[in-house]
Each structure stands twice: as structure tokens, then as C-alpha cells.
Amino acid sequence: MPTVSDKARYRRITLVLLISPIVFDLGLNLLEGSNRRQLDDGPTIYSEAPGKVAVITGESLAYNIPLLQVQRLLEHQGLVYDVVKDRDFTVAKSKEYFSAIVVGGSQPTSLSGTAIEELTNGGAGIIWIEDMPSHLSPLFGIRTVPETESHQTINRIDYGEFTTRIFNEAIYPIEPLEAHVNGWFMDNADRRVSPAETSYRSQNTSGIVYYFAYDACSWWGVDPEYPWARAYRLQMALNNILSGHLTVSLAPYPRNLKTAFITRIEDVDPLHNSYEWIMRAYSYLEYYTSRNALLSVSLTPTYIDPSVGLDIGLEAVESDVLRKWLSHVLLSGGTVIEHGFTHQYNGKKTGVAPEFYNEEKREWLSLNEQKQRISAGANQIRSNLGFSVKGFEAPHYLANKDTYAALSQLGFRYITHNSDTPFLDRIGLAEGLVNIPETLGYIPLDSTKELEETMKANIDMLYNMSCVILFFNHLYEDESLKIGEHLLEYSLTKPMVWYTNTDNLAEFWHERLNAYDKMDVKLGRDIEVTLGPTRKAGLTIVLPEEKSIRRVHVNGALWPTFRDNYVILPVLRETANSILISLSEDEPNTNMPQGLTLVILSTALSILLFKKTTSTHHVNRTQG
Amino acid sequence: MPEMSLMNSAAVVMVVMVILVSIISGSLEYTYIHIDGLPYREARQPIIGTFYYYHLEAIIPVIGLIAFQPVIYEVLSRHSASLDLRRILAFCFGNLLLALILEDATWFMLRRFSPLLSDPLAYEWIRPSDYTASSLGYSVIFGAIIPLWYLILVPPIVAIYAALIVLPKD
């Protein structure tokens, strides 16, 4: 028989089991009521507007750069848009959009004033760039005026925080009626001549309308001081007209990162084997690696100087030290980009001339010739480094459609050029190619502190625009090494930056574009986003900052990776993937009844087994 | 292997070892098992309940091997009576259940208190939408979400350890 002390011990153990977490669970749940569905004041029903932007063009698009730049901006932002002809933009059609950008340079003379008025009265924002019919100007709170002599003296636009130059281009004089002036045309004598950019909201319920009295979509990247000022203003205007709307966008970088920082080591060839350059290169690599940043190296695998009969390939003994450094770059997570096969043509030496374009004869190499040269360079890199290049940088950025076709046929995935855009760029390239744009310029010889400060100011602007920050560095002198390090250090002070290489970004952008090309947004009780397939996890759907996501389903299954106003997506395998985002209620604790039943069963069984075991033991002991 | 009792130092060492292994496993999983820069649990759906392929193929077998090490020893050395073996088996089973909870909780402790820079859900404890909480539901205890499957496993663990403490050695 159990003794008195044994009985007391059993009671204690039973007590322990009884006050096991089930008691906490049930009691505290009753107190807190936390397992109940938490509802807001009521589910919000969003407008059925599909959340698309209309890009309206006229018939006479003299050159397509403005339209291309608007498309690049919208694709980079991950917004769904349609390009609509002015005559097709009717009142009924306008209901399909929650904002519009009008490319005024294309002379959208058939655009219905009623459709525009309906659009703004319905709360949609509009950006009008360049030429505007005078009868529409009152909708923008402005009045068009004739050009005067003073307009001939305009040389820049003053935006307060920065200025941007005016080049040999048309401007459109206006006077503000009720509109707010955001930027002024300035003359040589530093006087305000007329408004360059205005914004206006006619009533509290109507949308914001912006007018750009100059071609805000052209001359990007030309101003040496603030190359992206025009793109920045356009993007700010777009952000403002979208504010207040339930905008759904696909972020340009993974994991909701704000921007990507990339450094290219430029014009590296087999003669980069001097002790000084190699030491600098190792020091730079070490600096980057210790800060988890990567390098991308633009490599020309053969050096030629016909005047002295020099022809050195990457396989040469003299290139041993360079090959070793390149291997270190690859091992540290960096990459190598092919920068032409020889970076020269005819009797010129490597580096001083382009490769595919003969500047004297003004002739391009044929598709086959280009393909042979690109292929020869890629093979040389592969055989010496064991690395298959996926990126190409045309010498002197001189490439034509045959270059892109050759790259596409050879399986290259991207180019990295300055194509006068800071945004993701695939338009005008061959199938399967994207451009990782060079946006921050380069560090020239004898650089000064002022250059470093200008580059830092442009880092700020690119960061605010969520554009890729990419500069190149030749590492020709210690000063360029130091400036490069300072730029990385400056960037490291900013949050949410992706320190990556060109390969990684290109691969991500390809996957993002696959998903984006099928993107569709439906707003109802929940937000339903449709996306194409992607093999990369990390694509991010972003809602306006003030929104708070409560529940997400991906292809019908509950998805956990969301926070505040964004969802980070898994690999999407279906041709069309459905992402259902709910803002109105928490994930209901649907499996709680089953779980709770199991808790009760588990506790009861545990108590029974415990009692049975202990009593059997005592019976055995007693019999023994 | 000495006979099992929680009063026995060898048993205490076993429990400590299982705790350490499960904490290390949870840490390794959080720190190193990633996909496209994301912790794996935040980039893929689990295969069963809250478990991924690496749990089923590596982590649980390793933990199981360590948790059941006393049984393996006893069976191989063949010097325990069947009653003792049952007791050791129960002890090992309790260890395994404890390890499963600790491995999972360690992952979320790290995300909450020492997250990776690349973790988009850094500084978050278990959320209702995490698979560990949604698979069998959750409860909120002192403001923190606790998956109910933890609470399902706790009673048998307590019962097994308690029985081993209470029952004197034969």
C-alpha cells in the first residue's frame, strides 16, 4: 500500500499536471478573449477601380523617349499601367484608372476635356508633361501664355533644394491661376521667368494635377551635377498623385529593400598586373568583403596594342596575379562582366576605342561578327576563371540591336550601360535582356572632395527614388580607392540597402518581370493581386504606408511573411498566382478547436497514464 | 548505462544534452537555412504541420538519436530488465518531445531577440500567421502567442518526468 508520504507526493504531481499550461491556456484565453476574431469597425469595401495608371499619348510622337521613360518609371515602381491613345480615353474608359500621365509632346489633341475632368473629379491624379491645349489649362489651375523674349534667356529650373539645367529644348510658358508653383524657370540673371512645374487640387475631393512646362521625361542623365533631377521630380509627382489611393505595387528589390548598391571595377584587362594596382584591388576587395558588400568587375579578356605588337590574353603568365585577384572576387560573392573581347578595333589599342562600331567609317560590325567577338571573350573568361559570364558591358557603351540580339542568342542575361535612366530598363533591348543602369557616374583621375560630395548628394537622390546606385571605379590611384570606400561607407549609413552584384540584381529583375508581366490588381473586400511565375522568393507587394496588412493567402494557402504594409512572397510556381491580402481582420484562429481538444486529451491521458504507472508500481512493490 | 531516474545524474546530463542539441539545432536553422536571403520558414510552406524537409530528414533524426541514446545503449548492451527498458524508453520519448518544442521556440526566440539583418520579420515573436501557430491553433499567454502544439506536448513531458522522479528505483 502507498504510504502517507507517497500519497502526498501523488497529490503534488497531480496538481502539477492540472496546473499545466492547459489551465493557463483556458483561463487566460477567457480573460483576454484573444482567440476571438478581431474585427475592425467593419470590413472596408474598396472601390472596384482596378488600380491602374493610364499613360495617354497623342498620334504625333516625334520621338518616343518621353513615353519610354514614363514606362520605365512605372515598371520600376511596379505599377500596373496601360498606354492609351488620346482618342480612346473616353469618360467610360477613364473609370478604369486611378491616375493618368499625359505625354503632351505627342500632341494628344483628341483627348476629351470631359474625360479629364471626370477623372480628376473622381479623385484621380493627373500629370501632364509639356504641350497642353489651352482649353484644358484651367483644370490645372494655370493659364498658357505666349512665349516672350525673356523665355529665351532661361538656363535652368530652380527647385529650391536643387537646380537642373535647361538644354536646347522647348519650354511652355504658363501663368499660375490657383496652382502652386513647385519649380521656376530661371534666367541668366538669376530671375524667375515663369513656372516650370505646378500642382493643383480644385476641390478637397478631386485629385491632384501636376503640370510640367518642360519635357520632364527627356535629358535625363545629362545634367552633370544632378543627372536624375527631372526623373526625381516626375517620380515625386507620381508619388503625390497616388497618395490617398490604395496603390498596390511590386517593389523593385527583394525583401522590401529600398535600393541596391553596386560597384563596378572598370576596364580591367590582362595588363592590370602592376604591383600598385593589384595591391589597391586587394585592399578594395578586403574593404568591401569586410562590410558584406560585393564587387562586379568589367573585364576585357584580351589586351591588344598593334602599334607595339602586343597581344596578351587572360591566360598569359603575366596575368597570374590578376587571375588570382579575380578568383578572390568571385569567391567573395562578386562577379565578372565581359567588357568586350578586346575593347578595340583595327589598329587601335585596347581601351581607347569601342569594339563594335568603327568611328571613322561610322559602321557597325555585323551580327555574326559581334557574336563571334562576344563569344570569344566569354570562352576566354570561362577557360581561365571557370566562370560563365552572364553580363556584358559594351565598350564605350556603344551597342546596337545586333549587339543585343547577339547577347540574347549567346544566353547573356543583362547589360550594364548608362541608358539615360535610373530605372529598371528592358525596353528596346532584345528578348531576355535587362539593363542594370550605371547611375552614379565614375571616379575620374585627380578627383576632388567636391566630386565625392556631389556623388553623395546623388546617392541621396537615387536612394529617395529607390533607384539602383551604381558607379564605377578604375582604381588607377589611391584617391579613387579612398573615394570608393567613402561612398560605400556613406551608403552603409542608410537602411534597407542591398549590397549586391550585377548578376544578382539582373537575375532578380528577370524574375520580377516574369511576375510583373501578368500583374493585375482587383480591389474589393480584399485586395486580390495576380502575378506571373517567379523562381525567386522575396518579391514584395507594397501597399501605402498607412495600411496595415492583417492576413495573406498565396494561391489559397495561408502565407506568414508580411508586415505593416508589405508582403514578401515565396517562389510562385503557377502561371497565374493569386495573392489575397486582407486589411480588415486578423487571421482567425481556425485550428484552435482541434488544438484545444488535443490539449485536453493529452492532459487527460497523461494524468491517467501517470496514475496507472505509479499505482502499478506500488502494486508490484507490495506483491514483491 | 546506470538505471534511469531523474534523481540520477546521468539522466540529468541526458536532459541537459537534449536541451543543448535542440537549442543548437534551432540556432543553426535560423542562422544558416535560408533561401534567397530569407529564413527558410519565411520563404516556403512546411511539408507537415510546422516541419520542413530538413526537420524530417536531418534535425529530428539527429535530436532523436541523441534523445534515444540511453535506449540504444541499453538495447545494444542488453543488460536491462524489460521494466527498466520501458522506463528508459519513456524517458527518451519525453526528451524528444521536449526537444521538438525547444527547437521550434529557439528559432522564434532568435527572430525576436537576435534577428538576422535580412529577416523581414525581425524582432517579431510567433505571429498568428506563422505556421507553428496556425497548424493547430494558438493561445495567448501573458500577451505572447503560444502554439497549441506546445501545450499538447507539455502534459506527457511533465507526466513522464514526474513519474520518473516519483517512482523509486527497483
Residue A370: name the closest of A396, A339, A405 by CA.
A405
B35 touches chain A (CB under 8 A): yes
The string of DSSP letters for A94-117 reads HTTEEEEEEEGGG--TT--HHHHH
Q: Give A108: exposed, middle or buried? Use CB within 10 Å, 0-12, 13-18, 19+.
A: buried
Q: Which three cell numbers stand for residue A487?
A: 561612398
B169 interaction partners in chain A (CB closer than 8 Å): none
Q: Is the pLDDT of residue B112 over 60?
A: yes
Give me the mean pLDDT over the A289-310 stretch: 95
Question: Where is average pLDDT lowest: A278-292, A565-579, B35-49?
Answer: B35-49
A251 interaction partners in chain B (CB closer than 8 Å): none
Confidence class for position A448, pLDDT limits 50, 70, 90: confident
**B170 or A220: which leads in pLDDT:** A220
**Nearest residue of A to residue B152, measured between CA atoms:** A599
pLDDT tens digits for A336-367? 999 999 999 988 999 999 999 998 899 999 99
A497 touches chain B (CB under 8 A): no
Confidence class for position A172, pLDDT limits 50, 70, 90: very high
Contact (CB<8Å) A587/B129? yes
User: What torsion do the CA atoms of A445, A450, A456, A458 make, to the nearest 10 degrees?
Assistant: -90
Domain A55-244 has CATH 3.40.50.2020: no
**A462 or A586: which leads in pLDDT:** A462
Contact (CB<8Å) A560/B37? no
For strand A497-499 and strand A469-473, is the pairing parallel, antiparallel, or unpaired?
unpaired
Q: How far apart are CA A172 and CA A166, in angstroms?
A: 12
**Residue of B135, B136, B150, B161 to mutate, testing the A interface (most A Cβ within 10 Å of its Cβ):** B136
Give me the mean pLDDT over the B119-129 stretch: 93
What pLDDT score does A146 carry?
87
Domain A259-494 has CATH 3.30.420.40: no
Confidence class for position A63, pLDDT limits 50, 70, 90: low
What pLDDT score does A624 carry?
52
Contact (CB<8Å) A560/B131? yes
Residue A531 near residue A62, CB atoms below 8 Å: no
Place of cell 598586373: A273
Distances in Å between the alpha carbon of A138 and those of A179, A193, A205, A211, A455?
Answer: 9, 20, 17, 11, 40
> Which distant-in-sequence residues (6+ apart) come within 8 Å of A589 by Cβ?
A35, A37, B128, B137, B138
Give me the mean pLDDT over the A391-400 stretch: 96
Three-state SS sequence of B75-128: HHHCCCCHHHHHHHHHHHHHHHHHHHHHHHHHHHHHHHHCCCCCCCCCCCCCCC
Q: How far apart are CA B79 and CA B56, in angstroms?
A: 32
- Predicted TM-score (pTM) of this structure: 0.88
Q: What percent of chain A has pLDDT over 90?
A: 70
For chain A, domain boundaries: 4-31+592-623, 55-244, 259-494
Residue B138 near residue B126, CB atoms below 8 Å: yes
pLDDT tens digits for A113-148? 899 998 998 889 999 999 898 889 999 999 998 888
A464 touches chain B (CB under 8 A): no
Residue A220 near residue A69, CB atoms below 8 Å: yes
Q: Considering all CA atoms of chain A, what is the largest pairwise distance in Å, rounded to the nearest integer? A: 119
What pLDDT score does B49 carry?
84
Q: How far apart are CA A98 and CA A428, in angstroms?
A: 28
> Which distant-in-sequence residues (6+ apart) come within 8 Å of A33 by Cβ?
none
Q: Is B31 helix (H, G, I), strand (E, B) or coil?
A: helix
What pLDDT score does A6 carry?
56
- How open is the CA angle A419-A420-A421, to the nearest 5 degrees? 95
In single-letter form, the type of residue at position B29 comes to: E
Q: How far apart are CA A545 and CA A249, in angstroms?
A: 12
Distances in Å between the alpha carbon of A74 and those of A67, A78, A84, A236, A544?
Answer: 11, 6, 14, 12, 16
Residue A250 near residue A539, CB atoms below 8 Å: yes
Contact (CB<8Å) B152/A16? no
A603 interaction partners in chain B (CB closer than 8 Å): 155
Q: Is the pLDDT of residue A10 over 60?
A: no
Q: Is the pLDDT of residue B81 over 70?
A: no
Contact (CB<8Å) A20/B158? yes
Contact (CB<8Å) B135/A591? yes
For chain B, domain boundaries: 9-120+153-166
The string of DSSP letters for A171-204 reads B--EEESSPEEEEEEEETTS-EEEEEEEEE-SST
What pLDDT score does A560 carry?
93
* CA distance to partner chain A, nearest, from residue B65 (Å): 24
Q: Considering all CA atoms of chain B, what is the largest pairwise distance in Å, rounded to the nearest integer? A: 56
B82 touches chain A (CB under 8 A): no
Give me the mean pLDDT over the A296-314 stretch: 95
Q: Cα-flanking dihedrals φ and ψ of residue A85, to 5°?
A: -70, 145
Q: Is the pLDDT of residue A623 over 80?
A: no
Q: Which three cell numbers stand for residue A106?
A: 505627342
Q: Is the pLDDT of residue A33 over 50?
A: no
> Which distant-in-sequence residues (6+ apart) come within 8 Å of A357 by Cβ?
A363, A364, A365, A398, A400
Residue A606 near residue A14, CB atoms below 8 Å: no
Q: Give B117: exposed, middle or buried? Use CB within 10 Å, 0-12, 13-18, 19+.
A: exposed
User: What torsion do the CA atoms of A136, A138, A141, A145 make, to the nearest 10 degrees?
Assistant: 80
A34 interaction partners in chain B (CB closer than 8 Å): 139-140
What pLDDT score does A5 carry?
55
A552 touches chain B (CB under 8 A): yes
Quickly count: other Cβ atoms within 10 Å of residue B14's Cβ. Answer: 22
Q: Which three cell numbers stand for residue A195?
A: 513656372
**Nearest residue of A to residue B144, measured between CA atoms:** A34
ipTM of the complex: 0.87
A557 interaction partners in chain B (CB closer than 8 Å): 45
Residue A470 near residue A437, CB atoms below 8 Å: yes
Q: How many residue pairs bridge chain A and chain B with CB atoms within 8 Å of each other?
A: 154
Distances in Å between the alpha carbon of A566 and those of A78, A105, A221, A474, B123?
Answer: 13, 36, 31, 39, 16
What pLDDT score does A30 carry?
42
Q: Which three cell numbers stand for residue A50?
A: 482596378
Contact (CB<8Å) A592/B43? no
Contact (CB<8Å) A586/B146? no
Beta bridge partners of A108: none
B124 interaction partners in chain A (CB closer than 8 Å): 563
B156 touches chain A (CB under 8 A): yes
Confidence class for position A274, pLDDT limits 50, 70, 90: very high
**Nearest residue of A to residue B122, measured between CA atoms:** A563
Letter string b/e over residues A219-246, b meaning 16 or more CB atoms within 10 A of that residue's CB: bbbebeebbbbbbbbbbbbbeebbeebb
Q: Which three cell numbers stand for residue A519?
A: 500583374
Q: How far apart are CA A247 and CA A53, in angstroms?
A: 10
What pLDDT score does A405 carry?
96
* CA distance to partner chain A, nearest, from residue B19 (Å): 20
Q: Is A157 helix (H, G, I), strand (E, B) or coil?
A: strand
Quickly count: other Cβ atoms within 10 Å of residue A353's Cβ. Answer: 21
Contact (CB<8Å) B148/A20? no
Residues of A (521-540) whose Cβ lies below 8 Å from B: 536-538
Distances in Å between the alpha carbon of A595 and those of A534, A602, B146?
Answer: 35, 10, 12
First to last CA, chain A: 12
Residue A467: name the closest of A253, A204, A254 by CA.
A253
